[in-house]
Chain A
């Protein structure tokens, strides 16, 4: 695995608060030079619009630093809220870590 990749795996509920924590973690890893950030949402069983808002903010941070933010393994509820907020077009979530490795890492 390339060393500019950082995989984060939050657990439980991603609301405004917990996603802001996640955003801080992402910001820290960019500052330490990581370019590719993958957030594995497998253990997240619920996400709300505030969570999505914080995630969008994190995406802006990463883009500004010239990196990439990827999401994978969306649980059913998270997929639903992504569809509802049309965020699939913004984040293009991946099916799982394997897809991340195949599509993102090999391409780059």
Chain B
């Protein structure tokens, strides 16, 4: 089983975010929220972690640190506020806030300018507004149309040109009334627009009749009509006078007849003339703006929309300025009599409270100090370069786990915290089967993955019990079904099809508990939680997992049942000492033939897997695997008997004292071993012992066991050196 778990290790190589080729633009960096979960840890410790998190090498506007204080202590809140202020005064944030402020000021002055300009525009609009006229479908309207057009005439337009324009306006109007609106009621409006530019005149006539292909008509009838014909001259007149004629359908089922005629301006030096020319220029500019902004009917609406854009932008700048406060404090309300779901509830509350919105979430335990290049190393996993799009896009990666390492380990590591075997070959082996474990800290998770999977689980739970709506923000997201929320969450992510990665580089260091009581509590919790997950969401039957993932999860869970086998293994020589019962019938050569190769293979696997890991550490982890057997049995027992299991935060401050009472089973075994050996020596010296060689073998076995167990006794008596 152990061998399968290590079958296909995956060693990943990465390029840091800022050295990606092709580069990921700074503006496309995902926003990262750092969640520092704490409960009753010392304020100073959390402060160090938060400070290191703020100092990570990442764009200031894309990073936010949240202290999720489940203990809701006033000092923690005060520390967060102080740190926030301190951070706001740091040079990098200063620079950022100055840039934002300048941008905001610039836009505010732009807005002021625009408002001023708008007044002028309003004036001009009223001055120019006479250039539009709407009349009814009636022949008698021709006269008002003509007199309206007449009074528009600027001095610089030659009279004959003006009259030609008047003629084609008349023709166009006639067409609208006689042809387009032939079958429409007389109340149907005809809208006329005249735009006088500095060297051309544009006439637009809007009708609501059926459209026809004027261009085709011009081509077939372009040459005009017979001299004696009574009808059909209109089109040829228009095409003769205008430089450009078109008839096109516009919005709201209208057609627009557009007639454009250029002219050579007659220059008079009169003031009136200059004004008219100026008007034409302004008109031209207005139309230029409108052409570039399709969909805006007039310049007023264009300015309004531009104003709104700038206002929105200023608002955004203000928000980002507010977001520069990068260190925030969240203490969730914990109403009495309702389940709080411990650490999972703490994280989930932060995800759903609406205060956090980063694309990625870095979870850190209160004591885990991140290195400055953490995000640079890990963020690239979440993107894949798409050649077709020519840019990076999000992939299906749900989380990246990095190792846990400790900076306070006493010499010789009596508590066996070093985990180079787990954060190394084991995780790499799991990663090879896309089942890297999330261990609750030092991992970067994709919010989208957490939320979508959490919601699915919530809906499943809601279907069973609608009262769970009350707990929604505490159970969606990170799994709260078990006291080891991390493993269960990862398993749910995997079963929903999200991928995972294990990044083999220490990017954060934390504190390990340095007394036996805390260590045992922590290990008991892990054991209980893991078995809990096995019972509630068995990886062998959970839908959506691949075979490799099923085996990886099951292997980890099953390892906690070893306590029972260890008990038998350890008891055998003792039973033999006192009761002369041989546990293995076929002792001797046959047994050796089976046992020795198996034992050697086991050793070899261990050594091969642990290549590069100090022998001392390997030995330590083996010692603990055996010595903790009472704890594993206790864990299995407590879960199977359904005892209430509470999440207990592992204390990170030393609880001083002797802990021999916690390990009485191990001590009893040790004492029995020595008694047994003395008893045998006693019998041997009186010559009542048959087969002394078997007793010798058993003694060797028993002593090997005691050596394994000795670590826990040493740990129980370990005291920190006085400095």
A residues with a Cβ closer than 8 A to B are: 12-13, 15-17, 45-46, 48-50, 52-54, 56-57, 60, 76-77, 80-81, 84-87, 89-90
B174 interface residue (CB < 8 Å to A):
yes
Query: For the complex, would chain B's binding face be called helix, strand, loop or mixed by DSSP majority?
Result: helix
B269 interface residue (CB < 8 Å to A):
no
CB neighbours of A13 from chain B (8 A): 142-143, 146
Query: Is B234's CB under 8 angstroms from A49's CB?
Result: yes
Given contacts A60-B228, A80-B164, A80-B167, 18 further A-B contacts (CB under 8 A): A13-B142, A15-B142, A16-B139, A16-B178, A46-B142, A46-B146, A46-B170, A48-B170, A49-B171, A49-B232, A49-B234, A53-B230, A77-B167, A80-B163, A84-B236, A84-B240, A85-B237, A90-B227
With A and B bound together, what is the CA distance between A6 and B230 in angstroms?
23
Query: Is B227's CB under 8 angstroms from A86's CB?
Result: yes
B residues with a Cβ closer than 8 A to A are: 139, 142-143, 146, 159-160, 163-164, 166-167, 170-171, 174, 178, 224, 227-234, 236-237, 240-241
B231, B232, B233 pick with most chain A CB within 10 angstroms:
B233
Query: Is A89's CB under 8 angstroms from B227's CB?
Result: yes
With A and B bound together, what is the CA distance between A53 and B231 in angstroms?
5
* Smallest beta-carbon distance B290→chain A, Å: 31
CB neighbours of A77 from chain B (8 A): 163, 166-167
* Smallest beta-carbon distance B245→chain A, Å: 14
CB neighbours of A60 from chain B (8 A): 228
| Interchain residue pairs with CB less than 8 A apart (26) | A13-B142, A13-B143, A15-B139, A15-B170, A15-B174, A16-B139, A17-B139, A46-B170, A48-B170, A48-B171, A48-B234, A49-B171, A49-B232, A49-B233, A50-B174, A50-B231, A53-B230, A56-B230, A60-B228, A77-B163, A80-B160, A81-B237, A84-B164, A84-B236, A85-B224, A89-B227
* Smallest beta-carbon distance A72→chain B, Å: 19
* Smallest beta-carbon distance A84→chain B, Å: 5
* Smallest beta-carbon distance B10→chain A, Å: 85
With A and B bound together, what is the CA distance between A54 and B159 in angstroms?
27
CB neighbours of B170 from chain A (8 A): 15, 46, 48
CB neighbours of B171 from chain A (8 A): 48-49
Query: Is A46's CB under 8 angstroms from B166's CB?
Result: yes
With A and B bound together, what is the CA distance between A46 and B173 in angstroms?
13
With A and B bound together, what is the CA distance between A90 and B170 in angstroms?
22
Query: Is B228's CB under 8 angstroms from A56's CB?
Result: yes
Contacts between the two chains (Cβ within 8 Å), count: 75
With A and B bound together, what is the CA distance between A85 and B227 in angstroms?
8
CB neighbours of B228 from chain A (8 A): 56, 60, 90
Q: In the complex, what residue of chain A is closest to B150 when comparing beta carbons?
A: A45
* Smallest beta-carbon distance A9→chain B, Å: 18
B163, B232, B241 pick with most chain A CB within 10 angstroms:
B163
With A and B bound together, what is the CA distance between A53 and B233 in angstroms?
8
CB neighbours of A57 from chain B (8 A): 230
CB neighbours of A90 from chain B (8 A): 227-228
A16, A46, A52, A80 pick with most chain B CB within 10 angstroms:
A46
Query: Is B178's CB under 8 angstroms from A50's CB?
Result: yes
CB neighbours of A15 from chain B (8 A): 139, 142, 170, 174
CB neighbours of B139 from chain A (8 A): 15-17
Query: Is A76's CB under 8 angstroms from B224's CB?
Result: no
* Smallest beta-carbon distance A63→chain B, Å: 10
* Smallest beta-carbon distance B179→chain A, Å: 11
Q: In the complex, what residue of chain B is closest to A54 when comparing beta carbons?
A: B230
Query: Is B233's CB under 8 angstroms from A52's CB?
Result: yes
With A and B bound together, what is the CA distance between A17 and B233 in angstroms?
16
4 nearest A-B pairs in the assembled complex, by CB-CB distance: A49-B233, A53-B230, A48-B170, A49-B234
Query: Is A76's CB under 8 angstroms from B160's CB?
Result: yes
CB neighbours of A53 from chain B (8 A): 229-233
With A and B bound together, what is the CA distance between A24 and B319 in angstroms?
78
With A and B bound together, what is the CA distance between A85 and B168 in angstroms?
12
* Smallest beta-carbon distance A93→chain B, Å: 14
With A and B bound together, what is the CA distance between A60 and B229 in angstroms?
10
Q: In the complex, what residue of chain B is closest to A46 when comparing beta carbons?
A: B146
CB neighbours of A52 from chain B (8 A): 233
* Smallest beta-carbon distance A28→chain B, Å: 19
With A and B bound together, what is the CA distance between A66 and B381 in angstroms?
100
Query: Is A12's CB under 8 angstroms from B240's CB?
Result: no
With A and B bound together, what is the CA distance between A80 and B166 in angstroms?
10
Q: In the complex, what residue of chain B is closest to A57 when comparing beta carbons?
A: B230
With A and B bound together, what is the CA distance between A80 and B233 in angstroms?
14
With A and B bound together, what is the CA distance between A57 and B160 in angstroms?
28
* Smallest beta-carbon distance B135→chain A, Å: 14
With A and B bound together, what is the CA distance between A48 and B163 in angstroms?
12
With A and B bound together, what is the CA distance between A21 and B241 in angstroms?
28
With A and B bound together, what is the CA distance between A45 and B163 in angstroms?
10
With A and B bound together, what is the CA distance between A16 and B164 in angstroms?
19
CB neighbours of A48 from chain B (8 A): 142, 167, 170-171, 174, 234
With A and B bound together, what is the CA distance between A86 and B236 in angstroms?
11
Q: In the complex, what residue of chain B is closest to A49 when comparing beta carbons?
A: B233
A16, A45, A49, A90 pick with most chain B CB within 10 angstroms:
A49
CB neighbours of B164 from chain A (8 A): 80, 84
CB neighbours of A49 from chain B (8 A): 171, 174, 231-234, 237
* Smallest beta-carbon distance A50→chain B, Å: 6
CB neighbours of A50 from chain B (8 A): 174, 178, 231, 234
CB neighbours of B174 from chain A (8 A): 15-16, 48-50
With A and B bound together, what is the CA distance between A54 and B230 in angstroms?
6
B170, B171, B228, B232 pick with most chain A CB within 10 angstroms:
B170
